[in-house]
Structure 1
Amino acid sequence: MVLSPEEVSRLIACAPNLKHRTALSVAYGAGLRVSEVCALKVGDVDSQRMTLRVEQGKGRKDRYAMLSPVLLERLRAWWRVGHAQGKILPGGWLFPGLDPTDPLSTRQLNRAIHAAA
């Protein structure tokens, strides 16, 4: 099934919280798989070059994904909130799990997708 841009926007808006909305935005906006989104670290965001470094993606290859200005601003908003709440640690996971030293699990993100749908 292919969703229209409006349907994708509604799905993202219905995600349970800012972390999940941002993670879903990254998956859709940068074309990343759920596992790739969960594996992102803060240092993988290059705001100068407007890219995300994806380590060991499909085929165990490193690659770069482009960021739109809107997506970069969403990432910045999430970073400000997550960092202020102590959820994002320096050099840590961009989308941490319940324990900030662990990444968000693919299962948690999949549950957020199902909750939004």
Structure 2
Amino acid sequence: MGKVLQYGGRISGRLCGLAVLLWLGSFSVSVSAAPALCQPHPQEEWMAQADLKQMLEEYGYIIEELSVKGDCFEMRGKTPEGEPVRLLMDTQTADVVLSEQDEEPDL
């Protein structure tokens, strides 16, 4: 399977990544279930954080913090429904590798 998205890639690839993000974002996953690891990518292949932020906000997420954690982007904030959420996403494709929702997250 080829690359879904590269920085500056096609919009359709980004929308595909967002569809996966939204689908996976609807599930609650326990951190203790398994370690979430993103595939490492050279930094020049990463999606720009500003693009990721814009996409998340377009889908209704409220971003309190967007950072890099290991080989993943990490977003802490609220779902479109107002629930606290933590997402770990691939730095190149924005695919969600971990979605954690909690009433009072201890992240």
TM-score, structure 1 normalization: 0.29
- Normalized per residue, the structure richer in helix is 1
